[in-house]
Amino acid sequence: MIGILIISHGTLGESLIHCASHVLNKRPPQVKQLGITAQDDPFRLLPQAQALVKELDDGDGVLILSDIFGGSPANIAAKLIVPGHVEGVAGVSLPMLIRVLTYRDKPLQTAVVKAISGGCDGVVRIPALVVKHAATGS
């Protein structure tokens, strides 16, 4: 099973894991997060991130999800990438995370593709719903 590490600003990663747990009705295994605050020195967090990757890797690889490409979390993720074994995708969202959790028993490259498609497919315009009121009949 592919390990999943979310590296994000603040508490976004833990919030996404909490929401995914709600959607799936259980906390998914082999999912961790590392939150970066404005006071953190990204260089000092690199060993902690490396330890999380090692902890999550059971031999099938690790997918790192980050929030904003170019931000400190994504820059830390970039230092952890080992092509084919530790991969990263920026722009994490709940649809992306749910998609990855659904495909984490597939090869790592499949999970990368599904993460990106989940993020893209999860952005849709919500159509208006017409609600008829019982009292007015309209």
Q: Running DSSP on this structure, what letter comes out for residue 78?
A: H
- Per-residue pLDDT band for 130 (boundaries 50, 70, 90) equals confident
β strands within the chain, DSSP E = 3-9, 31-36, 62-66, 86-90
What is residue 66's three-state secondary structure? strand
60-100: per-residue pLDDT in tens?
999 999 999 999 999 999 999 999 999 999 999 999 999 99
Q: Which helix (H) or strand (E) holds 110?
A: helix 108-121
- Decide: pTM greater than 0.85: yes
CATH architecture of the domain 3-121 equals 3-Layer(aba) Sandwich (3.40)
> Are 122 and 128 within 8 A, CB to CB?
no
- The residue extents of the domains of the chain are 3-121
pLDDT band at 131 (very low <50, low <70, confident <90, very high): confident
Percentage of the chain beyond pLDDT 70 is 96
